[in-house]
Chain A
């Protein structure tokens, strides 16, 4: 597919430029907003020219926000930390539980296997609201309300099905021949799983983990109802800039930028796995 003519390449270039514009312009605009005062943001008509200010970031990082007439205490950095703990632990737990299960579904035909797999996926289609109020009752009884542990457990509803199904697809794509050969050499099952199967499926695992991390990071309603301000993630924290005395758009924009940075850095670090996916093609090719 390398025999592409120049106008085809030009057409592709234009398409990519337009697509990038659509997806990145709003991000760029939010980035600009994060350096503006609320007064600059609320101008008619909107304009990209302004005197940049770091006040929004300063307020978020220092934890104090001077609004219309009063000073608010905010804990946005704590919110980011909470988001990180919740998302990272949820994904780790999901990987621990999901990767072996995905392997089992991909490699073995066993009684009830598809049923178990489907049940696990079906957690994803229980509407979150449906279980929320009963869950709150049980959480209060079990002492899980307002704990990281409780939320990480509930977040499995988001992260586990995603990891399970994506990784399963990858395992199915990896030929079992290499594992087979390795085990003929006298290595245990566990060794071949850890040394051969998992490394080969690494791009899939990385992509699934990153996506699961993002979805956990973006969750809103579980944390709102099942936790108090101690464990509140950024999604709830960012709403604190909507105050009775006005919406602090500049702070929301800065908050959004700050909240995207950790995931973005993660994505950059994992970019090699995420988009290269090299080992897989090489094995099969």
Chain B
């Protein structure tokens, strides 16, 4: 059954009513959500306007329209390219690790046993700790004097391991915290997806004695892909905009090692009062996010179609 068929099937009884009502229904259902959130487009527009201005709060008399100058400055600014690079790297690494780990966890917990059910609730505990506070706890736990992780790692022989304080391990450390906080999010979405897959294909495969790896790559994974895309999309949107964890643990340091977009933009706006530059920074971030999301969603829609056709 294709989506088109389904749409028609659902719409069938409505034909008895007026055609106009039927045509309006989807709008009636979706517009309230749009109307309530549309107010946010106004501040968004204001922010776009800021990004086209020389606008530093501490220099009120120099404020003025400068077109794309804020953006033009980025092109030659190595700090900007460093930010782009670090943000993308951070996103790719965290989403990649979280997807692999989250999927493994979902597969391990797939069967509905009491132990698995309990574990799946316990394992989302890290997600419930606010990242701003969790990062603070991790900072303490990786403290070289009082930190339990530093101590354990020291017992294992790495007495000079400096966690977020060393340029060579800072990225690793914040990724670790991100993985700790957000992998449960991946897990729970994929687990819900996994458990809602139709059983027939798996039962048929079992009867036929198809090897487990074949089942996984040819049946489970394709059917799960829409869930994987949704979960990865949301994680990606959060990861590229990561702020709480990095700011709490290193404030973007050591050096400029973790100067991701939102940390840089936060400093520009709140510490340097340079609103124009901060807005321009965030517009670039918005554009990158927009493009990436578009790719994800196109893929998602395509796969949805295919899955439904297959089912």
Q: CB–CB under 8 A between A and B in the complex?
A: yes
Q: Least Cβ distance of B133 to chain A in Å?
A: 5
Contacting residues, chain B, for A172 (C-beta < 8 A)? 3, 304, 308
Q: Is the CB of A203 within 8 A of B196?
A: yes
Is A153 interfacial (CB-CB < 8 Å)? yes
Q: Is the CB of B286 within 8 A of A127?
A: yes
Contacting residues, chain A, for B50 (C-beta < 8 A)? 133-134
Q: Is the CB of A256 within 8 A of B137?
A: yes
- Contact of A130 (CB < 8 Å), options: B131, B151, B282: B282
Stretch at the interface among A50-58, A60-68, A70-78, A216-224: A216-224
Chain A residues bordering chain B, tally (CB within 8 A):
112
Contacting residues, chain A, for B137 (C-beta < 8 A)? 26, 30, 252-253, 256
Q: Is the CB of A110 within 8 A of B27?
A: yes
Is A230 interfacial (CB-CB < 8 Å)? no
B196 to A, closest residue via Cβ: A280
- Contact of A281 (CB < 8 Å), options: B42, B117, B123, B195: B195
Contacting residues, chain B, for A249 (C-beta < 8 A)? 140
Contacting residues, chain B, for A217 (C-beta < 8 A)? 128, 130
Q: Tell me how many residue pairs across A and B have CB atoms closer than 8 Å.
A: 307
- Contact of B32 (CB < 8 Å), options: A101, A173, A252: A101
A284 to B265, CA, bound (A): 48
A3 to B192, CA, bound (A): 23
Contacting residues, chain B, for A166 (C-beta < 8 A)? 189, 230
Is B141 interfacial (CB-CB < 8 Å)? yes
Is B290 interfacial (CB-CB < 8 Å)? yes
Is A194 interfacial (CB-CB < 8 Å)? no
A207 to B196, CA, bound (A): 13
Q: Is the CB of A134 within 8 A of B46?
A: yes
A124 to B239, CA, bound (A): 12
Q: Is the CB of B121 within 8 A of A23?
A: no
Contacting residues, chain B, for A153 (C-beta < 8 A)? 36, 39
Q: Is the CB of A274 within 8 A of B133?
A: no
- Contact of A16 (CB < 8 Å), options: B7, B39, B119, B304: B119
Q: Is the CB of A173 within 8 A of B29?
A: no
- Contact of B37 (CB < 8 Å), options: A20, A160, A252: A160
Contacting residues, chain B, for A277 (C-beta < 8 A)? 192, 195-196
11 contacts between A and B (CB under 8 A): A26-B137, A42-B146, A123-B37, A123-B40, A126-B40, A217-B130, A220-B131, A239-B133, A256-B134, A271-B120, A284-B196
